Amino acid sequence: MTAIAVTIAGSDSGGGAGIQADLKTFSALGVYGASVLTALTAQNTLGVTAIADVEPDFITAQMEAVFSDLRVNAVKIGMLSKTGVIEAVAAGLDRYAITQTVLDPVMVATSGDRLIDENAVAHLRRYLFPRALLITPNLLEAAALTHEPVARTQEDMLKQGQTLLGQGAKAVLMKGGHGTTAECIDLLITPDGHDVFSAPRIATQNTHGTGCTLSSAITAGLAKGLPLRDAVHAAKLYLTGALQAANQLQIGRGHGPVHHFYAIWI
């Protein structure tokens, strides 16, 4: 059977993040990708200039169209900027009994632009933390969700991840991409303990869409039947390769994208 993953997220008109990055990642990893758009952004490598939210009723219609026809193995959730959107997505997950879900709590773009309404953060905790197999905050997002300073050590990351478990998350991947150490360290934290995933930090400004790419790569692994830890490990390797090859691309004048197809393009 063909592995199928769905991304429920916003569109990036510049193609480096959001729905576009997710679908590229699914394809690069041998998974068929479908999509449910939650927002449109006018965006490029320099930043976000406008956001248009998709109405909750139309999000519901997209989910019904996709899930009633496709045998979906895993779902990645990205940009959900409004409370009504979050409620619509949660209801759709329940309607179709979707359990293999990765929630990337997208709050701020690489450019620094805020992508979520303040009121929506509490809704993420209430409606989607309990429904997600994994949440994948970066250090800035984890700090905002836990009302703590940005983590600077592994101990800080572990503490904040455990706090997020206490807020209802089933498992947390604390992403260390915003750290400053020579190694980029991610922590997978579950009620049973934690695992450390480390890779050399890559010197490149082409980092647009790294969070989307990692979470969608994990989703692709889950769609292919990998256990969670194995899916995280495989996704970390894929993103590291995409970052190492990122300078082969010359896209835009700001933070360019990672190279999703580094193993395919010659």
Residues annotated as catalytic are 175, 207, 209-212
Q: What 3-state DSSP class applies to 93?
A: helix
CB atoms near residue 183 (< 10 Å): 11
Describe the chain by its helix, strand, coil percentages, rounded to 5. Answer: 40, 25, 40
Distance of CA 131 to the CA centre of its chain: 15
How many whole angstroms separate alpha carbon 65 and alpha carbon 202?
A: 40
Q: What 3-state DSSP class applies to 125?
A: helix
How many whole angstroms separate alpha carbon 91 and alpha carbon 106?
A: 20
